[in-house]
Amino acid sequence: MSKEIKRISVSAFENIAKQATNESTVVWEGLELNIRSQLPFDEMLAFVNEVATSCFFEDGSYAPEMMDFMIRRGLLYRYANFRLPQDINKQYWLAYATDAVEFVYNHIDTRQFQAITTAIREKVEHQCDLMVSESQQKLNALLSQFDSFAANMEQAFSNVSPDELRNLVSVINNGEPLSEKKIVEAYADHLRANAGDVDDKHSED
């Protein structure tokens, strides 16, 4: 009979966790900063998602240069009590023109921060893989349409002579983009016209 595992109670576990100071007040360049050593779960998720999504624009293009800036930006306002301007150009300037980011980093739990940056990179890589997969699927669908179009045209024009084909092209080539439907309709009209000529010859005989 296996021995029952004696588990640590939730309250005892929480009491130990509370002893770890999660917030500290420090002075940077004469300014008093309140810095959290860790982010709560929901803010951690928001941080990861915010940075990862910022690396992709609405047109689907990938902008890896956004990652470092957005991480630095998140460090300033998520871990510390910096208020950032609305202008993203000013945000970029403040994130790199001072050592505020490095100062905050030295007062946080780097284990969590490293886990966050790892999650960001993996999320970005996953999104890139999805984009490549979607592009490949679209390409395969397009190639399949081309193959189908070629097969239909080969079947439709299998019994057409070179002279008939030249006449057919002259009929449908009116400056508009060609389509499979347009070509088939023109060919059908051509066949009906030829059938009419044959009937007329039989009537004359």
Ramachandran sector of residue 30 (left: φ over 0; alpha: ψ -120 to 50; beta: rest): left
DSSP 8-state secondary structure symbol assigned to residue 32: E
Quick: pLDDT tens for 181-204: 666 666 666 666 666 654 555 555
Asked if 62 contacts 53 with a C-beta cutoff of 8 angstroms, the reply is no
pLDDT of 69:
96
Query: 105-139 burial, b if ≥16 CB within 10 A, otherwise e?
Result: bebbeeeebeebbebbbebbeeeeeeeeeeeeeee
Higher pLDDT, 126 or 168: 126
Task: Give 60's contacts (C-beta < 8 A, 6+ positions apart).
Answer: 131
Give the range among 78-87, 88-97, 178-187 with minimum mean pLDDT: 178-187
Residue 9's pLDDT band (boundaries 50, 70, 90)?
A: confident
Give the range among 1-15, 32-46, 95-109, 119-133 with minimum mean pLDDT: 1-15
pTM of the predicted model as reported, rounded to 2 decimal places = 0.61
Calculate the average pLDDT of the chain.
79
Quick: pLDDT tens for 48-69: 999 999 998 888 788 999 999 9
Task: Give 21's contacts (C-beta < 8 A, 6+ positions apart).
Answer: 37
Both tokens of 41, joined, read: 């779960």
Q: What is the mean pLDDT of residues 80-90?
A: 95
> Which contacts of 198-204 are long-range, i.e. CB under 8 A and separated by 24 or more positions?
none
